[in-house]
């Protein structure tokens, strides 16, 4: 299943929808090249959860936690992750299987560690500058999200 995100506002709309559906333990795994909108989408999820803090990319810290929304938000950015050991050292399981909502950028770098029921969304560039494409490869819950 796929959906065109014709401009940033459509990416934001998807993020708000995902936030509305999010439950404790929801894990949203984002896969896609630099600039395809992973952080933009994450910011909209945060907005939808009512997170008051400014969301900044946790590229160097790997994980940032925001507690001011309807549910806690755990934002991972695995761009600079070395190996799985680093994720174990961060205690990723406490987040992935915790009471909050987890969004993971560059989730393909930890594919084997993602929960079975993670919602995996792939982002890609569209036909012009402002367009992106989001798609899923499964035909279950992940599809329903689009």
Ligand X SMILES: Nc1ncnc2c1ncn2[C@@H]1O[C@H](COP(=O)(O)OP(=O)(O)O)[C@@H](O)[C@H]1O
Q: Which is nearer to Mg ion, 21 or 64 (CB)?
A: 64
Judged by the rule CB under 5 A, the positions of this chain that interact with Mg ion are 38-39, 105
35: its two tokens: 């600039």
**Applying CB under 6 A, which of residues 38, 75, 109, 122 lies at the interface with ligand X?**
38
111: its two tokens: 């594919």
128: its two tokens: 């012009």
Q: Which is nearer to ligand X, 12 or 116 (CB)?
A: 12
Tell me which DSSP letter residue 134 carries. E
Residue 94 CB, shortest distance to ligand X, in Å, is 24
- The reply to whether 11 sits near ligand X by the rule CB under 6 A is yes
- The β-bridge partners of 121 are 30
Partner in contact with 34, chosen from Mg ion, ligand X, none, beta carbon below 5 to 8 Å by kind: ligand X
Residue 107 φ then ψ, to 5°: -65, -20
Alpha carbon distance 78, 64 (integer Å): 12
- The reply to whether 54 sits near ligand X by the rule CB under 6 A is no
- The reply to whether 32 sits near ligand X by the rule CB under 6 A is yes
87-126 footprint of ligand X as x/- string (CB under 6 A): ------------------x---------------------
Partner in contact with 130, chosen from Mg ion, ligand X, none, beta carbon below 5 to 8 Å by kind: ligand X
User: How many other CB atoms are there within 10 angstroms of residue 88's CB atom?
Assistant: 11
Sheet holding 73-77, edge to edge: 2-5, 132-135, 119-125, 27-31, 101-105, 73-77, 63-66
Give the interface with ligand X as residue ranges (CB under 6 A): 5, 7-8, 10-11, 32, 34-40, 105, 130-132
């Amino acid at each position: 299943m796929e959906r065109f995100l014709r401009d940033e506002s459509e990416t934001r709309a998807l993020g708000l929808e995902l936030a509305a559906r999010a439950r404790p333990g929801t894990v949203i795994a984002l896969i896609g090249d630099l600039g395809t909108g992973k952080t933009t989408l994450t910011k909209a999820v945060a907005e939808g959860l009512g997170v008051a803090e400014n969301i900044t990319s946790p590229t160097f810290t790997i994980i940032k936690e925001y507690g001011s929304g309807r549910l806690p938000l755990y934002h991972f950015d695995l761009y600079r992750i070395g190996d799985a050991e680093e994720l174990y050292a961060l205690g990723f399981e406490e987040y992935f299987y915790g009471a909050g909502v987890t969004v993971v950028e560059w989730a393909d770098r930890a594919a084997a560690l993602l929960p079975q029921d993670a919602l995996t969304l792939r982002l890609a560039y569209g036909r012009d500058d402002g367009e992106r494409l989001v798609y899923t490869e499964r035909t279950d819950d992940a599809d329903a999200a689009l």
